[in-house]
Structure formats: C-alpha cells, structure tokens
C-alpha cells in the first residue's frame, strides 16, 4: 500500500504518513490510454474560428449580370460566383466543423487514477491536512504555497467543504484551482504539482474505489 507525507500550511510534516489506496494511487503507467483521453479533452475544448462564406452567404444581387447569349462574354449566373472577385469561397473552412470526441466514462476514470498514480510515483503530489486559512486572502495562500516549497505550476484540488478557499488562490500566478469532484487528466498533466487535502484524497478514494468495486 502506498503512503504519502502530510504537511500543514506552515510547511511542517506530520509524524505519521497517510496510507493511500492502491486502487487509486497504485496503478501502473498506461500512456496510450492517458494520451487518448488527453487528446479528446483538448479536442472538446477547441473552438472553431476559421469560417469562409460560400456563395449563399456572400452579399450581392441575385440578378443575372447579363443575358445568357448575345453579349459575346462568358455566361454567368451570379455576381456571388466563386469565380468572381468578392464571390463565395469553394471548399473553404466553415464553422460547421465538429472536433468533438467521445470519451467513455470508464476510460476517463481509469485515465484519471492512472495520472494520480504517476504523479505519486514522481513525487508531484503534495498532501496537506486541510486547505483552510484564518482569512481568505491571496497573500496568505501565497505564503502557504511558498512554505510547501513547490516549484513550477501548481493545481490545487479543493474538497466541497474547502470550496470557499478557492477565492484566496484564484489570482496567484502559475496556480490553478479545481474541485476534487472535477479533477481531470488535462488539468493534472498541464500542472507540475498537485496539492490536495486529506479530505480531497478521501473523496477520490471513495469515488474511484466504488467504481472499481462495481466493475467486479
């Protein structure tokens, strides 16, 4: 069974280590699964910006510019033809494109606990007894994170009871907040460190152990 040191927001470690569930923090690496879920999440966040107008969307008269025969010029039916200047675009990118990718719930859950296990092995998870401050002030949260000696980007996973403390860290540079119930592969891989309280760890263990038991 894996274990982790627990710190307080003063940066001091507790005497006993916290035992972690192998169902959540003891999984082997699965790069293929994690990559698949990561790419799907990135695709689902993608916004379609490029859009070209076809001949039906361009402004211009619908009247035939000149008679079909007798003028000596090439026949043409509309000034909005793709062949004309300021006409529609043929086969251009449109906003109707859909980049969404489906992620199965079981795949997503497995990828999340796989990333959690990898971060634990790499020493990138910092467990604290509780994410509570005397006052909800940014400078107090900044001081607490400094005492935890975190280098690089940091993701803080708050439990439902600690939700109000998110206000104290939302303006800190290189720090991102999230609820433990909304923890995902994209945010974890985008951050070097993951900070969680014992309450958040307990929630994750109960959530994913329950899913593992239902499979069996």
Whole-angstrom distance between the N-terminal and C-terminal Cα of the chain?
A: 20
Note whether 58 and 126 are same-domain residues: no
**Per-residue pLDDT of the chain in tens (216 residues, 90 and over written 9):** 789 999 999 989 987 889 999 999 999 999 999 999 999 999 999 999 999 999 999 999 989 999 999 999 999 999 999 999 999 999 999 998 999 999 999 999 999 999 999 999 999 999 999 999 989 999 999 999 999 999 899 999 999 999 999 999 999 999 999 999 999 999 999 999 999 999 999 999 999 986 655 555
Count structural domains, the chain: 2
Smallest CA-to-CA distance from 115 within 207, 184, 213, 178 is with: 184
Range of the domain at 58: 49-98
Note whether 59 and 145 are same-domain residues: no
Give yes or no for a contact between 119 and 125, defined as CB atoms under 8 angstroms apart.
Answer: yes
Note whether 161 and 69 are same-domain residues: no
Interatomic CA distance for residues 212 and 187, integer angstroms: 23
Looking at 98, 115, 136, the residue that finishes a domain is: 98
Q: What is the pTM (predicted TM-score) of this model?
A: 0.83
Interatomic CA distance for residues 133 and 140, integer angstroms: 7
Q: How many CB atoms lie within 10 A of CB 56?
A: 8
Q: In this predicted structure, what is the pLDDT of residue 171?
A: 93
Question: What DSSP state is assigned to residue 191?
Answer: -
């Amino acid at each position: 069974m894996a274990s982790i040191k627990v710190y307080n927001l003063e940066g001091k470690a507790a005497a006993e280590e916290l035992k972690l569930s192998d169902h959540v923090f003891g999984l082997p690496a699965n790069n293929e699964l994690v990559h698949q879920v990561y790419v799907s999440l990135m695709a689902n966040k993608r916004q379609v910006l490029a859009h070209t107008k076809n001949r039906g969307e361009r402004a211009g008269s619908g009247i035939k510019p000149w008679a079909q025969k007798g003028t000596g010029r090439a026949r043409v039916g509309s000034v909005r033809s793709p062949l004309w200047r300021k006409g529609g675009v043929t086969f251009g990118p449109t906003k109707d494109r859909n980049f969404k990718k489906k992620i199965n719930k079981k795949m997503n859950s497995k990828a999340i606990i796989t990333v959690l296990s990898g971060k634990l092995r790499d020493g990138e998870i910092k467990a604290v007894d509780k994410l509570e401050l005397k006052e909800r002030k940014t400078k107090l949260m900044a001081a607490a994170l400094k005492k935890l000696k975190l280098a690089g980007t940091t993701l803080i996973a708050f439990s439902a009871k600690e939700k109000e403390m998110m206000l104290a860290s939302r303006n800190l540079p290189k720090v991102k907040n999230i609820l433990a119930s909304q923890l995902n592969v994209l945010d974890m891989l985008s951050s070097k460190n993951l900070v969680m309280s014992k309450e958040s760890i307990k929630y994750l263990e109960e959530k994913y152990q329950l899913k593992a038991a239902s499979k069996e």
